[in-house]
Structure 1
Amino acid sequence: MESNELRIFRIVAREGSITKAAQILGYVQSNVTARVQQLEAELHTQLFYRQRGMVLTPAGEKLLDYAERVVRLLDEAHQVLNDASEPTGRLKLGAHHTLSAIHLPMILAKYHKVYPNVELSLTTDYSDALAHKVRHFELDGAFVKSGFEDANIVQELVFEEQLVLISRPEKEDVQSVCNQPFLMNTIGCPHREQLEIWLKSIGIRSIRYLEFNHLDAIIQGVISGLGASFVPQSAIQKYEEKGLVRSFAVPAQYSSSKTYFIRHKDTLMTSALKEFTNMLQQNPLRSLPIQQYT
């Protein structure tokens, strides 16, 4: 049983598809199929049900747990043996859409300038998807919109700001704003959930949505008169100063937006990751102090 076979097995199990696994690995499909079959022959057991994709058998589920641990230990050994005092190598980070669009580029640019030998990569996704990648050691760390009650996750509050209701400037009161469709992310977005809780608290239960999954598109849609939205105040400040949008405050219990930096408790603290967390502490995204949670 070779480590490369276990890596291929993990990706096929994760994606549930030979085709997707081959695309990720950069292999031809027949090669991936052959390696999986070779592993099954060596272990004398079927690892996948091959109907409507690749679904793990009970034996496959058992092997996946070991494969995750073996591959992680091999990667960790490689990192330890190749880690230098001067940060080098890969640093795989994730961030939710809003942060990656507004606040993160500055800190990443500064980090790259100080540590040019670190190969930075950034994955933008929803918080739950990012947390899943952190739990499975696919990311060294990620910025997410909400904390997680998970003993395997270490999290730090790095950023907090207020959300505001926004609309075209001719809308003069909250009621007229709320009679419009709301331009928001898809279901599962914490901001959308906070908006719904607040609207219900003021007696509005029928909400129309236009779903956009990019902050800039949402703001431009509001400017164009498509409807209203509920976004970080920092994102619309320059537009409000130009008279393109108007913002309305929402009670604090509904409008606080927090961003946490999370990592797996067993993630190897390479010099690259250590210096990144140090830079976060020395250059907070806002003036709020970082608070440690475990």
Structure 2
Amino acid sequence: MLDYRVETFLTVCQTRNYTRAAQMLNITQPAVSQHIKYLEEYFSVKLFDMRGKMIYLTSEGEEVYHLARIFNLNITKFKEHLLTDTGSKEISVGATKTIGEFIMPPIIASYVKEYPNRIMKMKVDSTSTLLEKVKYGELDFAFIEGPFDEQEFNVLEFMEERYIPVCSPEFKFAGSEVTIHDLMNYPLILKEESRDGRSDIEQWLLQINHSINNFKVVHLVDSLLVVKEMVKNNIGISFLYETSVREELLNGSLVTIPIKNYDVKRKFKFVYRKYSNYDQEYLDFFDFCDDQRRILCL
């Protein structure tokens, strides 16, 4: 950060509170007010409006915030480049749980093998958390899923993943073509987090005038391993990303259920900050990942 007053401004934007900003910066609240006043006089605009105990950016403040944040992120990234050798750049990538655990491992391994001097940092978390980290420069880019506001980021489509119905080989309709009505007399086992595709299933059911509540019973489990074990033991059926059950489908411990008129897919996307000075580096990494995905048939 080149100007401490800009740092104060960004911290106030983050906290929306002068007192909390002062605590985070280890300065007094009057100092925070003085820094903001200086910037308002410098830009000849009002940066914040007060609503109750919270402060909000004005339209002009939004523009200043956008420019200041991009400037700060580029300066921070440039400083990191100066402090490291050309061959030992640090790369910070994020991925949602399914992408991070079932798609990225062989790709990351290939990348590190190809570029042994690169320093790799990877964060697996929810889409919303990853987007926040990309937004504030804690991650260079992320592979995410599900709906989000794409206007704030550069977005590339990485791949499309099928969300398939699976069951035990002992299940009555294993391998047989059925309708969704045929399955509703049996328990449904789902991952609890909606980001793992559950929302897509619910939306598809709504389109045919049904819901998950039409099933005999619905088990919501916050563990993919537990979901798969329950299905293997013929406790019920589930809908899971195809890549997350590829091994089980190959060894026969799980099988698919062909459902008439069912085809639910979700797009996995690659996102990075707009107006970054390092777009080409990010795109080079994306191209490598995309090539490896095709080579590995992921």
Shared fold, TM over 0.5: yes
Please tell me whether Structure 1 or Structure 2 has the larger radius of gyration of its CA atoms. 2
- Do the aligned partners of 2:170 and 2:234 also contact (CA within 8 Å) in 1? no
Structure 2 unaligned runs (5+)?
39-46
- Do the aligned partners of 2:90 and 2:119 also contact (CA within 8 Å) in 1? yes
How far did residue 206 of structure 1 move? 4.7
Give me the TM-score of the superposition, normalised by structure 1: 0.71
Q: Secondary structure at the match of 2:256?
A: strand
Distance 1:77 1:253 in 2: 49
Q: Secondary structure at the match of 2:293?
A: coil
Q: Larger relative CO (CA 8 A, sep 6+): 1 or 2?
A: 1
- Do the aligned partners of 1:164 and 1:247 also contact (CA within 8 Å) in 2? yes
Residue 277, structure 1, aligned to residue 286, structure 2: yes
After TM superposition, the structure 1 = structure 2 runs for residues 51-66 of structure 1, keeping only pairs within 5 Å, are 55-58=54-57, 64-65=65-66
How far did residue 236 of structure 1 move? 1.7
Distance 2:248 2:73 in 1: 46
How far did residue 261 of structure 1 move? 1.5
What CA deviation, in whole Å up to 9, does each residue of 1:208-263 have, x standing for no partner? Answer: 54444443343234335554321122322322444433321346763223212222
> Hey, what does 1:25 align to over in structure 2?
none
CA RMSD across the alignment: 4.2
Matched residue type, 2:97: H
> Hey, what does 1:182 align to over in structure 2?
189
Distance 1:91 1:166, change over 3 A: same
Structure 1 unaligned runs (5+)?
22-28, 290-294
After TM superposition, the structure 1 = structure 2 runs for residues 93-108 of structure 1, keeping only pairs within 5 Å, are 93-108=93-108
Distance 1:237 1:104 in 2: 15
- Do the aligned partners of 1:89 and 1:272 also contact (CA within 8 Å) in 2? no
Distance 1:73 1:239 in 2: 45
How far did residue 104 of structure 1 move? 0.4
What CA deviation, in whole Å up to 9, does each residue of 1:34-89 have, x standing for no partner? Answer: 3665332444599898x99xx43557965744542441242244356568653x33
What CA deviation, in whole Å up to 9, does each residue of 1:98-120 have, x standing for no partner? Answer: 11111101111121222233232
Distance 1:35 1:169 in 2: 67
Distance 2:14 2:220 in 1: 28
Give me the TM-score of the superposition, normalised by structure 2: 0.70
Matched residue type, 2:188: P
* Pick aligned residue for 2:225 from 209, 212, 216: 216
